[in-house]
Amino acid sequence: MLKLYTDTKFLTEAYRKKVFPLLFDLHFLKNTELLSYYKLVDEVEKSDIVVFPIDYSQFIKFREAFKSLLQLAKKHDKPIWIYTGSDYGFTTYIKNSYTFRLGGFDSKLNDTTFIMPSFVNDPYISYLSNGFSVLEQENQLSIGFVGHAKSGVLKYLKEFLSHLKYKLKRWLGLILADAQPFYPSSIKRAGYLHKLQLSKALKTNFILRNNYRAGVQTEAYKQKSTQEFYNNIFNNAYIFCSRGVGNFSVRFYETLAVGRIPVLLNTDCRLPLNDSIDWSKHIILLDDRKKESLEQQIVAFHNSKSNEAFKELQKSNRKLWETHLMRPSYFIKIHDAFLNS
């Protein structure tokens, strides 16, 4: 069991949406499974780890509380767990600390940075009521996508202006975020999808939106668009996934939750638990710098599988999501990794 010490003044409803995800389960939800692996203690001397209670970019604004917790950790030589949320994330340089974030560039992240999955709800509870089942392998593989993908000059200008706004806010110190180059994600995504649509070897089932979440405004339309999204994943063995504003894909985790096969465009991303998960056994990782086209890389992977292996892969991906990528299971794996390190 790992004993955690934090500033409990921040474990209130006012900070509920900003709290370190593990603390959310321990304090707010009282998750019984996690409580057998972690315990919140009220004395730093009794702890194994000091945890910054809320998102780093918010916690640092409370200077006295931040300084006090940091000094306690240093005084008692306790490692610090830091959560930095949002699309971009932020690299801290605090000694003896470990950072948990959603994305970032693998080549720039150190060994004490842990990528968290996007914690999505089980789609078989909310949207796919018939339950999990596998698809049979077909000679012509099917690849799906529902989402925001739009090209054009106006779209490029809109995304470029959004990037300039981010850079200005960062320069002015209004946000704490790592620097990253301009990446017009919607335009890039539209370009890759268009290339795949031209392929005769692929059966593409794409629904391209001009806006994020189809621009829906009402709860009814949100429900409808999400249902359409999950139906598309369920009905296609492969799902195209690429980064958004941040260097990670929520769709990647939604695909695994359904038990399908993500086709992930590699943009120097780091995946969760990469020291213990052999991701090459679960996904197609596309590299647009290779001599082989994206289509050829997808087809080669598909043709390397027998029908039985193809079905087992879908079962394995669903199982992987349940045992490693749901919030409680992820932090159990983190618990084990820290005890064994």
pLDDT tens digit sequence for 269-284: 999 999 999 999 999 9
Q: Within a domain: residue 334?
A: no
Q: Which residue, of 115, 140, 172, is where some domain finishes?
A: 115
How many whole angstroms separate alpha carbon 104 and alpha carbon 87?
Answer: 9
H or E segment and range at residue 240: strand 238-241
Are residue 27 and residue 174 in the same domain, yes or no? no
Which of 277, 268, 220 lies closest to 242 in space, CA to CA?
Answer: 268
Q: What is the CATH number of the domain that holds 279?
A: 3.40.50
Are residue 87 and residue 48 in the same domain, yes or no? yes
Q: Within a domain: residue 337?
A: no
Are residue 83 and residue 164 in the same domain, yes or no? no
Q: Within a domain: residue 330?
A: no
Are residue 92 and residue 202 in the same domain, yes or no? no
Task: Assign 217 a pLDDT band (cuts: 50, 70, 90).
Answer: low
How many whole angstroms separate alpha carbon 334 and alpha carbon 22?
Answer: 10
Q: Within a domain: residue 56?
A: yes
Specify the pLDDT at position 233.
98
Q: pTM of whole model > 0.75?
A: yes
263 contacts 206 by C-beta, under 8 angstroms: no
Are residue 58 and residue 81 in the same domain, yes or no? yes
Burial (0-12, 13-18, 19+ Cβ within 10 Å), 131: exposed
Domain count for the chain, please give it: 2
pLDDT at 180 over 90: no
**How far is the CA of 12 from the CAs of 7, 33, 108, 225, 310, in angstroms?**
11, 22, 34, 33, 46
How many whole angstroms separate alpha carbon 18 and alpha carbon 236?
Answer: 35
Are residue 53 and residue 172 in the same domain, yes or no? no
Task: Assign 222 a pLDDT band (cuts: 50, 70, 90).
Answer: confident
The domain containing residue 91 runs over which residues? 2-115
Q: Within a domain: residue 101?
A: yes
pLDDT tens digit sequence for 18-50: 999 999 999 999 999 999 999 999 999 999 999
Q: Within a domain: residue 333?
A: no
Are residue 101 and residue 227 in the same domain, yes or no? no
Q: Which residue, of 86, 115, 144, is where some domain finishes?
A: 115
pLDDT tens digit sequence for 102-150: 999 999 999 999 999 999 999 999 999 999 999 999 988 999 999 988 8
Q: Within a domain: residue 339?
A: no
Are residue 178 and residue 321 in the same domain, yes or no? yes
Q: What's at 114, amino acid-wise?
A: F
Q: Which residue, of 115, 131, 157, is where some domain finishes?
A: 115
pLDDT tens digit sequence for 223-246: 888 999 999 999 999 999 999 888
